[in-house]
Amino acid sequence: MVVESLANELLLYLFEFLDGIHLFRTFHNLNSRFNHLLFIHFRAYRFDFRSIFKYEFDIICQYYLPSIFDQIISLTISDDDETPNQSEIFLSYNFTLDKFIHLQSLTLYSIQSFNQLDQLIFQCSQLPVLTYLYMIDGYNIDRKNDIQFLINNIWSLPKLYYFYLNYHSSSKIWLNKISIISLSIEKLFIENITCTLQDLSHLFKYTPSLRYLNTTIHFNFEDEQIPIVTLSSITSLKLTFESSVPVMINLFQMLPNLYSLTLKTMDIYLSGNRWKKILMKYLTKLKIFQLRMYFEFSHYKNIDEQLNKLIDTYRNSFWIEKHQWFIQCDCIPFGTYYHGILYTLPYVFDTFVFYDILKSKYTCPYENHYWSYKRVNCLQYMIYNTNTINYLNSLTIQFPNIQHLKISISFDDKFWSYIPSLHRLTTLEVILGENYTQYQLQTLLNLSPYLYSLKFFYSIDLNMSLEQIMCPSIRCLNFITKFSSNITYFNTIECNTLAYSQLGCQCEVLVIKVENRTNILDLIKTINNLRSLIFQCKDDKWNHKDISSNNDELTKWLHMCLPSTYSIIRDKNDMSIIRIWINKNENNIFLL
């Protein structure tokens, strides 16, 4: 069937399944009918500006957005490594978000500038239907006044229902600076910002309609004496808890109607009998209890006895019959100590770290259902000693939905029995050391048809490997590692090897350290598909200790050598890193 033969109503319905970028790529200027549908009749644009080429972003901002402000319902702006400095460029077009009057969802990724973040949020203050706000992977140095202004602007959004905040911040004052009451916020996710019980008590006062909360609590001595402030509206809590049992009990007393609790604890050891008493006394309405408890065994002797004694406290009728809350406990050796990880089954958390496990005990029936870790999408495989694992041989543990994998190469052959498929894998981090075998890495790549990003942690010479590694789906390469090694900066020969390898030819996003600034120009010239380059340069003369310095000789040199359409800035959080958003098209001419 020819698309043009479809009725307008059906075409408009199909448009709803496509991002705005793809709509204009596909249908703009085909004929006057499609232009009329795009600019007049379609009312539900979703623009996700992650992973876009700069020249395409500029075209959309200059020629398309001004005509469809009131037709956009979802917008994503990102300053991550794929589209560095995008938020500043977006604002440079003199857009104000208050014109997006039908905007329902706003996502802000990796916004490095607090000033730009403030501007964007402030412009949302009068939006009548904005209900979802996501601030993801941002980072800032402690700026208390800015945080207070920002958080109160968010709490002032009139219709905000769902707020997701994943922000790497040195400040601990986010929640206790709220001074505006929000009657609309019902779901709140807070990650990478730790809070205290006092902060939560303050939050509850200013967010009285809150029903779902995801947060992290760290230890604070004053928490044990604070007055109890109850919030009966919260029915679901997802909590990472690094404090004391009295503080945890105080928190439970604040939440009398809690129905669902997902809890990760650090350095807390509670038997099944102790948990039973706490839950029955303070959380009488609890029906869903999902636990991961990390602790250290009291001493390194009699581990079997300690483990059996602990597991037996979870075998009574309260756990097995009344609630069917089954648990498993893994015993992990660390030097002369033994750590334990006790968790409910089926495993419900999205991350899992595979260690050399000495022993494991469980209370659930022997059914495959309990060892299919379907919720896990991020796996770290840290097993090196293949002789220490004994329980996994008898359990068919499976991780069928892995999207992010970190693994040391070489690894043991048992790995393959735990991973039925790598068809969902998009991000791979590999640790390459003395025992590295290219065969294992290539096998991983061959079985990962949708792998997008490959990051190297290495202490070996990669030159030969880069010529031989093949994976047609990879578009992002990251070579900036935390490993200290003489093989850190790519020299001219290594840059050329990378640029002419299969990985280099298809690379769109490159994160790398180079010896010489001319290597940057060579990489941009040679890698035709490159749209973003993040780098450190060994001959950079920038004074990293004086962030206020205006004598940025290297960026000035780059501005002289590269077209004016390129965005070239220093990373605001790591001044040794320069970020280039490349604008390659037929009109760009190198000046050098």
The verdict on residue 475 lying in a domain is: yes
Give the pLDDT score at 544: 60
> What are the residue ranges in the chain where pLDDT is below 70?
1, 140-145, 169-173, 221-224, 300, 384-395, 464, 481-487, 543-550, 586-592
The verdict on residue 576 lying in a domain is: yes
- Dist. CA 442–CA 497, nearest whole Å: 18
Residue with tokens 């070579």: 479
**Do residues 75 and 47 lie in contact, with contact meaning Cβ atoms separated by under 8 Å?**
yes
Sorted by sequence, the CB contacts under 8 Å of residue 122 that are 6+ apart come out as 153
Domain encompassing residue 474:
469-592
The verdict on residue 526 lying in a domain is: yes
- Structural domains counted in the chain: 1
> Any idea how long the chain is?
592
**Do residues 288 and 258 lie in contact, with contact meaning Cβ atoms separated by under 8 Å?**
no
Please give the structure tokens belonging to residue 193.
Answer: 């910002």
Give the pLDDT score at 589: 41
Q: Which H, E and C letters describe 122-156, residue by residue?
A: HCCCCCCCCCEEEEEEEEECCCHHHHHHHHHHHHC
* Helix, strand or coil, per DSSP, at residue 215: strand
**Do residues 465 and 456 lie in contact, with contact meaning Cβ atoms separated by under 8 Å?**
no
> What is the residue type of 22?
H
- Dist. CA 405–CA 447, nearest whole Å: 13
The verdict on residue 514 lying in a domain is: yes
> What is the residue type of 212?
Y
Q: Whose CA is closest to 230, among 245, 259, 210, 260? A: 210
Q: Whose CA is closest to 521, among 480, 575, 464, 580? A: 580
The verdict on residue 354 lying in a domain is: no
The verdict on residue 524 lying in a domain is: yes
Give the pLDDT score at 388: 46
The verdict on residue 393 lying in a domain is: no
CA-based angle 531:116:89, to the nearest 5? 35
Backbone angles phi, psi at 32, to 5 degrees: -65, -30
* Helix, strand or coil, per DSSP, at residue 222: helix
The verdict on residue 451 lying in a domain is: no
